[in-house]
Amino acid sequence: MGTPDYIDRMNVPIGSSIRHALRVIDETGHGCVLLLDPETGHFAGLITDGDIRRALLAGGSLDSPVAGVPRPTPTTGRVGMPPEQIAELMGERIRVLPLLDDQNRVTELVLLDRRVRLSVAAPSLGERELEYVTECLLTGWISSAGKFVTQFEDCFATFCGTRYGVATSSGTSALHLSLLALDIGPGDEVIVPSLTFIATANAVAYTGAHPVAVDSESRTWNMDPQCIEDAVTARTRAIIVVHLYGHPTDMDPVLDIARRHGFPVVEDAAEAHGATYKGRTVGSIGDIGAFSFYGNKIVTTGEGGMVATDRSDLAERVRLLRAHGMAPGRRYWHPVVGFNYRLTNLQAAVGVAQMERVDAILAAKRGIAAAYDEGLHDLPGLTLPPREAWAEPVFWLYSILVDPDEFGCAREDLMARLDSRGVETRPLFPPIHTQPIYRTERALPVAERIARVGLSLPSAVGLGKSDITRVVETIRDVRHARC
C-alpha cells in the first residue's frame, strides 16, 4: 500500500533546516512535520510548530538542523488500530497521531480535526422544529389528533402536486396501505426493482402477495422497463417503481406497460422528495405515491410516512385502514381489519417545520452533489450518480460506483480508508433477490454489479464545503496510493 500524498508532503529528511520545516508546516497546514530517515524511510519523530517556536526562543536559528529541536517522544499508533484505542491514545491533548506499519513507516495520520465524523445523512433540525414540538407539549396535543397532522398532509400534497396527502407512521406503512387500497392480496404478484431497500418488497409480502424482483438499467440504476415486461404473468397485479437515491425512474415506458396490462403503478418515493420527472414531481405520476420521513430522509419526522394521490377512493381507503378500519362517522365500528399506522402530532410538527424550508434543504442537497461532481468527475474508475436530461434528481445520498480495476482499489477498501479518516459511508442496498427471505437463483446482473461496487458518501444537509473537500481529498489520496 502506498503512502497518501498528504503524508508524503509532511515528511522532512532528518538533515533539513528549521527553515525548511517551517515552510513545510506553512504549506501543509497541519501544524507539524514528520521527520524521515532518508536512508531507511523510517519515521524518526514528529516536530510541531510549538516545538520549533520554543527552540527559536531558546536561541536556535532558522538554519539549525530540525533534528536538534527538543521535543517529547511522539505518541504513535499502529495501522489497523481500532478507533476506540486511537481515541484513547489521543485523549484531549494529541492533535496528530501517526500510525506506523511493520516497517516503522507512517502510512496513516489521524488528525484531531478529522476525528469529527462526517455523517451520511444526519437530520437538519432547527428552531422551528423545536418551537412546534414545544407547542404540542404545552397544549397536550401529542398523539395523532392535532392540527399539525392535517397541516403536514396539506402542505405535503401541495408540494407533490396531488389532491390528497395521508400521513402514516412510516414509509413502509405508507407502501403497505397503498397496496391494500389497490386490493393487492394473497396469490397476487407485484413487480418491484431488485435494487431497493427491503421495505419495498416487505410491504408486498405483508399483503400476502409475492414480490417479483426485476433488474435495473445501468443508466439510472432504477428498474429496467424491458425486465418489467418480461416479468409479467397472469398473476401480476401492480408495479412498484422506486426512485432510487433520489433519481426518478423513467416513468413513460413503465406507465405504458401498466396501461397496456391494466396495472396500477405505485411510486416508492421514500428517497426522492421533490425530484421531478419531465417537470412532474415524483409520487404524483403513478396511481399512488409513498414517502418516508425516517431520520435520514430528505424531509424527516424521525419516523413517519405519507401517501400522496389524486384518487379520492384510494385516499379514503388509506385513511380508513390507517386508523383501525374505524368507519368514518361511527365511533368504534369496524367494517374492515385496519391498522394503527397513524403519525403523531409531535412528528407532524417536525414535518411542518421541515416543509417550511424544504426548498433550502433541496438546494443544499443539490449543492453537495455539485461539489462532489466537481471534485470527483476526473477520477478514473468512478461512476458518479445518474443524471438524466429528463430528470431533476434530488441526491438523497450521493452514491458512486467504484470500478476496482480502473480505480485501483475495491469498494470495501475505499470505505475502510474513508472510515479511518472519520468519513462515514454506506454500501448500496443488496438486491432483493439475493436476500435470505426473497432469494432466487435467477441472476439480475445489472442490479448485482451496482450493489457490489456502489457506496454512498456523506450527504447530510449540514455538511460544509470544507467537509466535502475533505471527503474528495481522501478519495483522491486513496486513488493516488491505489490502496
Ligand X SMILES: Cc1ncc(COP(=O)(O)O)c(C=O)c1O
Note the residues at the interface with ligand X (CB under 6 A).
170-172, 196-197, 199-200, 242, 268, 270-271, 292, 294, 305
Task: Name residue, grid cell 417536525.
Answer: 350
CB of 36 or CB of 299, closer to ligand X:
299
Task: Name residue, grid cell 406507465.
Answer: 255
Q: Give which of 268, 272, 273 is closest to 238, Cα–Cα.
A: 268
Considering the complex, what minimum distance in angstroms separates the CB of residue 173 from ligand X? Answer: 7
Considering the complex, what minimum distance in angstroms separates the CB of residue 305 from ligand X? Answer: 5
CB of 51 or CB of 268, closer to ligand X:
268
Considering the complex, what minimum distance in angstroms separates the CB of residue 330 from ligand X? Answer: 30
CB of 141 or CB of 396, closer to ligand X:
396
Considering the complex, what minimum distance in angstroms separates the CB of residue 327 from ligand X? Answer: 27
CB of 107 or CB of 200, closer to ligand X:
200
Please count the CA atoms within 13 angstroms of the CA of 227 that sit on its side-chain side: 23
Between CA 471 and CA 458 the distance in angstroms is 8
Task: Name residue, grid cell 461532481.
Answer: 373
Between CA 114 and CA 423 the distance in angstroms is 8
What would the DSSP string read from start to end of 235-288?
TEEEEEEE-GGGPPP-HHHHHHHHHHHT--EEEE-TT-TT-EETTEETTSSSSE
Considering the complex, what minimum distance in angstroms separates the CB of residue 310 from ligand X? Answer: 21
Considering the complex, what minimum distance in angstroms separates the CB of residue 8 from ligand X? Answer: 41
Considering the complex, what minimum distance in angstroms separates the CB of residue 226 from ligand X? Answer: 22
CB of 271 or CB of 477, closer to ligand X:
271
Residue 139 phi/psi, 5-degree rounding, is: -95, -10
CB of 107 or CB of 276, closer to ligand X:
276
CB of 204 or CB of 423, closer to ligand X:
204
For residue 418, count CB atoms less than 10 angstroms from its CB and return exposed for 0-12, middle for 13-18, buried for 19 or more.
buried
List the helix and strand counts (H, then E) for the chain.
Answer: 17, 20
**Cβ(417)–Cβ(483) below 8 Å:** yes
For the beta sheet containing 77-78, the strands, ordered from the edge strand earlier in sequence to the opposite edge, are 77-78, 96-100, 106-111
For the beta sheet containing 399-402, the strands, ordered from the edge strand earlier in sequence to the opposite edge, are 382-383, 399-402, 454-456, 426-427
Minimal CB distance residue for ligand X: 171
CB of 47 or CB of 361, closer to ligand X:
361
CB of 9 or CB of 426, closer to ligand X:
426
**Cβ(274)–Cβ(284) below 8 Å:** no
Considering the complex, what minimum distance in angstroms separates the CB of residue 106 from ligand X? Answer: 40
Considering the complex, what minimum distance in angstroms separates the CB of residue 269 from ligand X? Answer: 8
Output the CA torsion sign for 87, 88, 92, 95.
negative
Considering the complex, what minimum distance in angstroms separates the CB of residue 16 from ligand X? Answer: 53
Q: Give which of 73, 71, 84, 85 is closest to 21, Cα–Cα.
A: 71
Element (H, E) at 123: none
Residue 313 phi/psi, 5-degree rounding, is: -65, -40
Between CA 421 and CA 113 the distance in angstroms is 10
Output the CA torsion sign for 30, 36, 41, 43.
negative
Considering the complex, what minimum distance in angstroms separates the CB of residue 240 from ligand X? Answer: 9
Between CA 251 and CA 267 the distance in angstroms is 10
Considering the complex, what minimum distance in angstroms separates the CB of residue 434 from ligand X? Answer: 16
**CB-based burial, 284-323: b 16+ in 10 Å, e otherwise:** bbbbbbbbbbbebbbbbbebbbbbbbbbeebbebbbbbbe
CB of 245 or CB of 407, closer to ligand X:
245
CB of 206 or CB of 263, closer to ligand X:
206
CB of 86 or CB of 397, closer to ligand X:
397
3-state secondary structure of 213: strand
